[in-house]
Amino acid sequence: MYINNISLRVKIRLYKAIILATLLYGADVRPLTATLTKRLDATHHRWQMSILGISWKDRITNVEVRIRTGQQTMDNILTWTCSAYTTASTVLADIGI
C-alpha cells in the first residue's frame, strides 16, 4: 500500500531513522571497498528517488534528487559515521573503558 499524504519531511525523518541506520549498521567497523561504497550509494539514491516518487525514466540527476531531499552523498555520510566511531573509541580508550 502506497501512502501519498505523508509529508516529505516525515518521509525523510523515517528514512534517516530506519533505512539509513540499517544500511550503515556496522559500516564503522568493517572495511568498505569501492564496490561496497558504490552499492551503498546506489541504494541511497534509489531510496531517495522512491521517497520523492521519481522513476528512473524521469531522467533526474542524483544531484537534483539530493537537493530535493536535503540529503548528503553516501561518501559524506560514511566519512562522518566512521569519524564519529573513531572519536568515540578514542574517548572511551582515554577514560579507560
Ranges of each domain in the chain: 8-94
Torsion from C-alpha of 67, 61, 80, 31, nearest 10 degrees: 160
Successive 10-residue mean pLDDT values, the chain, 97 residues: 76 87 74 83 88 88 90 80 53 48
Tell me phi and psi for residue 90, to 5 degrees: -65, -45
Q: What predicted TM-score, i.e. pTM, was given to this entire model?
A: 0.67
At 64 the pLDDT is 92
At 28 the pLDDT is 64
